[in-house]
Chain A
Amino acid sequence: GQQLNQSPQSMFIQEGEDVSMNCTSSSIFNTWLWYKQDPGEGPVLLIALYKAGELTSNGRLTAQFGITRKDSFLNISASIPSDVGIYFCAGNHFTNAGKSTFGDGTTLTVKP
């Protein structure tokens, strides 16, 4: 089946720093999604990407759908303590409609 490699697995940064994480796949996806999971809660959608090359922002967050359709990255600018959590990428392919392939997550720790 399809698999996603998400990196880095964890990050420890100072408040105010920028963050970058990415996901890669050996197969193409039609949709890329980025979720954030706060401690003890369910993941929440941050950004959805539907077209190769698409660059989308949501506040301090920016994500891009790779031109090859096999990768995506998420950037967070000027991190703040509430950015702490686990960030998941997910990919969808039309042949597997309704079932996302999730990365293993990037755990972000922000030091004040």
Chain B
Amino acid sequence: SQTIHQWPATLVQPVGSPLSLECTVEGTSNPNLYWYRQAAGRGLQLLFYSVGIGQISSEVPQNLSASRPQDRQFILSSKKLLLSDSGFYLCAWSGTGLSTDTQYFGPGTRLTVL
């Protein structure tokens, strides 16, 4: 069966510090991968989308970046965090071809920037 992991689960960082959040998927190959941000009590904002290694689509301009160094590894980074980067970050995967419709979400990372 497929599983998706995210770490860390929670993170408190000062403004201006760097960020690295990691997401890994097990039990599937060549998944589509996604990073979302969710503000408190709000909807899901798609940040990045990847269909393969090294292939990243950015959905919104921001000071965040994403990388996919391996097929089932997706990393969200920032060189300098802003207060507005606080939120709940969710990684998700989906299949390819006819299986792209359903996304499977990880447990999330709660980021607080102080």
Contacts and interface: CB of A to CB of B under 8 A. Distances in A.
A45 interface: yes
Contacts of B110: 40
In this complex, which of B43, B90, B94 has the most chain A Cβ atoms within 10 angstroms of its Cβ?
B43
A107 B107 contact: no
B43 A45 contact: no
Contacts, number: 50
Given A104-B43, A105-B43, A40 B108 contact: yes
Interface residues of A, number: 23
Nearest to B97: A97
Contact of A102 (B44, B94, B102, B106): B44
Contact of B51 (A42, A43, A50, A98): A98
Contact of A41 (B41, B44, B94, B108): B108
B7 interface: no
A92 B44 CA distance: 15
B51 to A, nearest CB: 7
A33 interface: yes
Given A33-B101, A42-B108, A43-B105, A98 B32 contact: yes
Contact of A42 (B42, B46, B96, B106): B106
Interface string B26-50: 0000001000000001111010010
A7 interface: no
Contacts of A35: 105
Interface of A: 31, 33, 35, 40-45, 48, 50, 88, 90, 92, 97-100, 102-105, 107
